[in-house]
Structure 1
Amino acid sequence: MDKETQKAIKKSATYTWEGNKKLDEQDFVNAEAKYRKAISENADNNIAPYNLGNAYYENKTYSEAFGRYKQSAESATSKSEKHKAFHNLGNVFMKSNEYEKAVEAYKEALRNDPTDEETRYNFALAKEMLKKQQEEQKNNPDKDDQDQEDNQDKQDQQDQNQDKQEGEQDQEDKGDQEDNKNQDQEEGDQGDQEKEDEKEGEGDKKDEQPQDGDQEEQQQPRPNQLSPQQVRSLLEAMQNEEKKVQEKIDAQKIKGPKVKNEKDW
């Protein structure tokens, strides 16, 4: 793994942690922005889309929640992660009365964790609701035809919305990625400026060497110019401040991204 990839993974983890913090503070707008940045930095980060899906779910925007849970399930590498994503996909389908899809989602969740009693309960409930739905359709054929037509229209609309949503998500994620690149460029420019300032400070130090017995006069800094001691003190202060900031960031990363599992049924 190259250094750029490692850097992107670390930034993605940091954005995820910040998104969790904003979500805890009920700041949905900034939480969403942080999660999007995390996803744009590392497409294999399945925690960020999962938590973003939870945020959408709590805000009752189920189509957006579906897209993010699906993304999390596809990028998940462990059975535990897949179980949580498919469990919540089942919850989304239950909200829209798509019981057959809910049954399949819970079934997939149980394949990855057969011991979860909450998923088992939801699976049984979804099967019962599906059976009831099918009986109602059987007892009312006319209604069944209309329901099938409505369901097909609904499915077509959902597919269109999903395609549109995925396109918008890709565009937004690309925009977040471009913002991240611009931020990296600004940080690089700032580092280059600091190096130039340091070189200028070294040049000032050479110019201030005592000459021809004027040592006492030349030790005094000229107007608008820092003395060598001031330059050194300034650089040390900047380095100490950077070290404190880095230590703070590292301390946050150690906590790791917090995962919430929405199980409302």
Structure 2
Amino acid sequence: MKELNKYLLIIVFASLWISLSAQSEKSLVRKGNKQFEEKEYSEAEIEYRKAVDKNPSYNKGKFNLAGAMYKQDNYEESGNLYNESAELSKNNNIKADSYYNLGNSLLSAKKYKESMEAYKNSLRLKPDNKDAKYNYEYARQKLIQQQQQQQNQDQNKDQDKKNDQDKKQDQNKDQNKDKKDQDKDKKDDKQEKDKQDQKQNKDQNGQDKDQQKQQQQQQPQKISKKDAQRMLDALKNDEKKTLQKLQKAKAKAAKSSKTEIDW
């Protein structure tokens, strides 16, 4: 009998603890709801977090906490909480609302493709949800615009890259042209210098030849010993012939004149 009473007391206390715990979670959520209605979203967040910390499977606290985070523009956390609420809930209406609000969080974060998927999940559960249909179409249009903007940005980026390449090529062409011009100027300068050097050398050679010619005219010509001997022999022959002529002339004169002797 005593053992039975003991077990009954345990059951009563356990039921009382569960009841008090549930009431505490609900009271925290109610308090949070009151602050949410007064647009005190950060204070509401605190109460909702207390409820979720007490019971992580208390879906109402999780759903309302996601709403408080959305109102504070924390779209990433609100989206995660709505997704958890959708997976946790066994009520199709709450599940559909969780997917719908998940779509809104993703839409606000400009994740248009993901938001469309969330709206489709909500419409599968509540096909008559006009807001989900409207938001789905709006997200689809925004996705098209986003893709078009991305395409334009990619094209502009490619065009900017091409312009940079063309500009670089033009700079290289200008540099090459400047180098060619410089090389041509150097070549022209060298050719001009070579012409001047050639002219100077020609003038110098002409002066050297004139000077050499003058020196040759001023200096007596040198003859070989053989030529000198030949000339000497020729002179001797001329002298001998001249002497012979003189001697003949004297003999002839002596014959033609008679000398008288005074006896």
Relative contact order (alpha carbons < 8 A, sep ≥ 6): 1 or 2 greater?
1
Structure whose CA Rg is larger:
2
Scaled by the length of structure 2, the TM-score of the pair is: 0.49
Scaled by the length of structure 1, the TM-score of the pair is: 0.49
